[in-house]
Structure formats: C-alpha cells, structure tokens
A and B are shown apart, each in its own frame.
Chain A
C-alpha cells in the first residue's frame, strides 16, 4: 500500500468486509475457547438443572410425595430454564470481569467493527451455548427420569421458544453485565438470579397458579415464565398453558427491550 492510498478514506464496501471478518473472527474466538473447555462448560450449565430434575421428579416421586407424571411437567420447564440461564450466565459474569479486572475485551473493542457488534457477537455466542445446553439437557434429563415427553409436531414451536428464551436470557445478561459494578457480583446472584429461577414457571404450570393470585402476578413479570410455558405448549400440550402466541410476543418484546438496554449499557462501558 502506498502512502497516498493509506491516506484515502476506506471505502464503504471495504469497511463492511473488514467489519464482517472481524465479527466472524471474534465469534470464532469464543467458539474456540468454549470448545476447548467444553466439559467445564457442560458441568457449569447442566449440573444444576439435572440435580433439580433428579431431586424434584425422581427422588420425591420415588418417595411418593409427588405424582409420577410430574417429571413430564418439569422436564420442559428445565429445558427452558437451562437455555435461559445458560445464555444469561454466558454473558453477565464474564462481561463484568472483562470490563473491570481482565480488560480482555479491549482488544476486541479496538477491532475494526462498530462497537455494538461486539455486544451482538456476545448475544449470538450466548444463544449458541444456550442451544447446545438445551439440546444436551433433554436426553440426559430423559435418562434421569426414565422417560420424556416428545411430540414431533411440537418441534417448530419448541425451537422458536427455546431460541427466543435464550435470546432474552442473553439480553438480560448483557444488561446486568454492563450496569452492575464488579463489587456487586455476589448480590446479583442472590437478588436477581435466584428469584428469576424460581418465579419462571419452570416447576409449575402458570395457569394453575390462580389459587395463589399474588404469585401468579409475580411470575407473569418474569420473561422465563413465557419460555417455560412455550416449551410446555410444544411438548405437553395437555397441561394447561399460556397460549403460544402470547409467549412468543412477550419473549420478542422482552428480548428487544433488554437488547436495547444492554447495547446502551455496553456503549457506555466501552466508550467513555
């Protein structure tokens, strides 16, 4: 490149090519790192839901505290929970660290692509990890229970709801990861993550809550509820559930809202 060429402003097309290559390279970096630590990743995302499934469905079921078919109600909820939480945790905690202690993200912020694309890459990666986790948890959960609900006709709805649930989780993770100061990591876990896990209609179908009205209202505010209900609508439609179209609309709305908030927070952290 001559000195004169170097001085000319880069063309739009060339710049777009550069940004695209940077995006793919950053995504590849994350896939590469996740792939190398795949077993660690699996333990991180799968153990907690599996234990929940094992204790609530298998153990309590064997002790006759709950009915045998509770497992078929719980497993779809666990699939939704896994996708949602895996995506959230894939972004939130690493991002807090990357912005404060390790500063690792700086090299990517200085890559030739628009700053929001670095955040969008995080969302894409988190959704991919969440899908991998959800796909794995289903057969393993079936092994734990000894059987699993399956409906081929429900697969399209299942796919849509799991992807949307993962996206919402990722977007919430991005929002938390950019708004929460590093000193408050422990607090988030206690006051955000645990309530999200237990008010998300994972362990109970939402319509059956009408005897516990206040709790029904609280759970209606948690986007995870709509992911759980959507997965149940796909796999066990006999259980009362929120209409799938409502689930999809709410998940879309929550995904958009948190993505906007998260991108705003990301921009604020990335550029002083």
Chain B
C-alpha cells in the first residue's frame, strides 16, 4: 500500500495549437497528511497540473493518482475523494451560502440530516453563521473564499487542492485561512496548494515543489531549499571613513567570507556615498554572528568604522528567483 496521497508520473500536457508543453514531464509525490506547496511563476504549469489532478484537464501523457485512485481511469471515484478551492469564485449564485454547502454535499451523496448539521457547523467555524442566508452576491472576496473552503470540506475529502488561496485577500483573511489550513492538516487532510506567495509557501508547506516551464526544478522542505541554495548567509555592513576598494579586499581575505559586494548607497552608485559612508554585502558560509568580531577589527585596522550591521538570511524568495530567473512572464 502506498503512502502517497498524490502521485504524478511523467506528466505532459500540451494544449491544442501550442508550440510548447504547458506541463513537461512532471513527477512528484505528495505524502499523506502533508501540506504541499506547488510554487512557480505565472504560466509555469501549476494550474494545469492541478487541473489534471482534479479531473478537469486531460493530459497528453503520464499518470496521476489521487488518494489511491487513478484519476484518468476513474475520474468519478477521484472526484469523491478530492475537493478543489479555485482561484476564481465559482459559487452558485442562485443559492444562499447555506444552500451552497448543502447542495454540494448532496451532489456527493451526503445524507440529508448529516449535510444540514455539517453545513451549520462549517458556517460557524468559518465565521459565516450570521450571513448564511443572504445572497452570495453580497459576499466580499474574503467571505466567498471562506465559503468555498467550507464547501470543499462538506464531503470530507482526503485531498484538498487550493489554487492561489490568498491572492487578493486582506491580512486578516489570510491569517484566518492559514489557521484553518493548519487545523485541516491536523485532522489528516492532505493539502496541495499552488501559490507564488513565498511567505505563504514557506509558512504553511511541509514541502515545496518549484515548477517552471512545466518542469520540476526543486523539491524539498522550505528550510532545506533555502539552506541548499547558497550555504550562505548575508552580512550587510554600513562602513564610514575609507575608500571601498581596499575594504572589499580586506573583508574578502577573512576566513569564512566567500564574496564581497559593494552595495549601492543613496546615490545608486557603489562606493562611498555623499556622507562618506559605503555599504558592503558579505556572503558568508560560516555563522554570520561569529564573523562579526573579525570583520569589524579587520576593517578598523584600515581606519574604517562600522556604523550599522544587518544579518540577512536568504529566503525562499531567493531560492525561487535563483531557480526561475528575474525575467518577467
């Protein structure tokens, strides 16, 4: 018996009349009960991949399984075990919020008494109990999003797919959503989310897959990805008094410093600024705080005093940019 909640094998999707594959040989596994983040720039193939996994896109080749079901061979069983929260609101506007939940459960064969009770419970949990019987049209973006998640949970899916769940939400709604997702994870629901919000991916995901041009570029926990990127931390120094070139060489000579960059000061030009200060960025492979004393004393020997220090950790965003480039899509 496999422990994977989602299996993707050599998935390829080429849309008709397109020259390149939207998904180009993607393979990965999502472990039962984890939160898996699928990260990538716009047009990287995330939504297409989720489309295949949720029976809405027919792949060109490859195999996918969700909750143990071969999605291509048995889409009907797959649908009963998964749920989707889409990017765009797709609530039933002819029904009230409560009816949206109840009818969704009915489509999935949940018995009448159970679906009523569960709808009431969900509305309470998602803070919608007071606005459960008004028009869906009156809902704000955040409320609609919450209702769509509540709806997705009505048939107790084993795997929940969320496509860009917090795009366009206010910070309150985002935090609320994150809390709910953690609760679901605690209950054993496997969660697959696509996003290009690095914060969200790093905060929520147990593991992250970075995708671009339909290919998987990296797959690991956010921490491991960040560590693997550089093996580096960053030490930003503001230095007063001396000319930059000599300082660069001095700093670079210190053990544990891999590389030194003069960073633009106020005027945007590397080197000393108008007030005689310059900024140095040291890429270090050792623990940055342990290098602080040697660096400061070495610079002081050259008559330069350090006026400001910032220790920067590289983030998932650095990993992402490093892998997918800076070019606009």
Contact = CB atoms under 8 A, between A and B. Distances in A.
Given A7-B67, A271-B58, A272-B56, A112 B80 contact: yes
Contacts, number: 100
Nearest to A103: B90
A185 interface: no
A106 B68 contact: no
Q: Which of A3, A19, A102, A112 has the most CB of B within 10 A?
A: A112
A107 interface: yes
A272 B90 contact: no
A8 interface: yes
A218 interface: no
A38 to B, nearest CB: 13
A25 B107 CA distance: 5
B260 to A, nearest CB: 50
Nearest to A26: B107
A115 B103 CA distance: 18
B180 to A, nearest CB: 20
Contacts of B103: 25, 29
A96 to B, nearest CB: 15
Nearest to B51: A272
B106 interface: yes
Interface string B172-215: 00000000000000000000000000000000000000000000
B126 to A, nearest CB: 17
Interface residues of A, number: 35
Given A6-B67, A104-B90, A111-B108, A270 B56 contact: yes
Interface string B25-63: 000000010000000000000000001001111100000
B54 A6 contact: no
B93 interface: yes
Interface in B78-124: 79-81, 83-84, 86, 88-95, 103-104, 106-109
B108 to A, nearest CB: 6
Interface string A60-103: 00000000000000000000000000000000000000000011
A6 B108 contact: no
A17 B111 CA distance: 13
Contacts of B93: 102, 104
A144 interface: no
A176 to B, nearest CB: 21
A22 interface: yes
B76 A110 contact: no
**Chain A at the B interface: mostly helix, strand, loop or mixed?**
helix
Nearest to B111: A21
Contacts of B90: 102-104, 106-107
A146 to B, nearest CB: 38
B56 A10 contact: no
Contacts of A108: 107
B307 interface: no
A31 to B, nearest CB: 12
Given A25-B107, A28-B106, A108-B107, A33 B94 contact: yes
B76 A113 contact: yes
Nearest to A109: B56
A112 B110 CA distance: 12
A4 interface: yes
B247 to A, nearest CB: 57
B327 to A, nearest CB: 26
Contact of A107 (B1, B57, B74, B92): B92
A188 interface: no
Contact of A4 (B1, B56, B106, B108): B1
A18 interface: yes
Contacts of B74: 9-10, 15
A22 to B, nearest CB: 5
A29 B105 CA distance: 12
B68 A8 contact: yes
A18 B76 contact: yes
Nearest to A271: B58
Nearest to A97: B93
A132 interface: no
A104 B91 contact: yes
A110 B161 CA distance: 12
Contact of B107 (A17, A107, A272): A107
B158 interface: yes
8 contacts: A9-B68, A10-B76, A10-B80, A29-B95, A29-B106, A103-B86, A112-B80, A271-B57
Interface of B: 1-2, 15, 32, 51, 54-58, 67-69, 74-77, 79-81, 83-84, 86, 88-95, 103-104, 106-109, 151, 158
Given A109-B56, A112-B76, 11 more contacts: A3-B32, A6-B67, A6-B68, A7-B2, A9-B69, A15-B76, A22-B107, A29-B95, A29-B106, A33-B94, A111-B79
Closest 10 CB pairs of A and B: A103-B90, A111-B107, A25-B106, A7-B68, A112-B80, A10-B77, A21-B109, A106-B90, A33-B94, A112-B79
